Amino acid sequence: MVTHPDMVRYFISIPEAAGLVVQAGAMAKGGEIFSLDMGEPIRILDLARMMIALSGRQVRDAEHPDGEIAIEFGGLRPGEKLVEELHLAGRPEPTEHPRILRTDEPYLGPEEFAVHFEALRMAANDDDPVAVRMELERLVDGYRYAP
């Protein structure tokens, strides 16, 4: 089952990611946000087709009605995006390492975060969905409620 024919995701091996994370940690001076260059995103449909071919099977579709494996589409789940965003608002800048980028993303300081989080907790305890949504919009940059 594939979510959507246009769904794309980034992939990186665990050892590769772990090595880059350790190197980013060594570069950190405090408070930076690093992101890893994970190459080009891959369409999940292409990945599914490749995995089927690598298993020695053929995709069952209009061109190959006798194929062994059909690919079905399940649809996006609530809140799921077709394309991953690696950087929200900041612009990634190079570092000493060619595959590690530094990003200047906006964030709330600990005190301001605590105030908003407490308001969010109180709205949730009061079972007030409108207040919860309003507080989430203040707390999470770029969040907009879409019923």
The whole-number pLDDT of residue 147 equals: 74
Mean pLDDT of 92-99: 93
One-letter amino acid of 58 = Q
Average confidence score pLDDT of the chain: 91
Q: Nearest Cα to 90, choosing from 78, 75, 105, 102?
A: 105
Q: What is the tens place of the pLDDT at every residue in 48-80?
A: 999 999 999 999 999 999 999 999 999 999 889
The whole-number pLDDT of residue 108 equals: 80
Using alpha carbons, list the distances in angstroms from residue 87 to 41, 42, 46, 83, 92.
14, 17, 24, 12, 7
What percentage of the chain has pLDDT greater than the value 70?
97
* Rounded-to-integer distance, Cα 90 and Cα 123, Å: 30
One-letter amino acid of 1 = M
Residue 91 has pLDDT above 90, yes or no: no
Residue 124 φ/ψ, nearest 5 degrees: -65, -45
Q: Where are the domains of the chain?
A: 8-106, 107-147
Residue 90 has pLDDT above 70, yes or no: no
Count other C-beta atoms under 10 Å from residue 36's C-beta.
Answer: 19
pTM greater than the 0.95 cutoff:
no
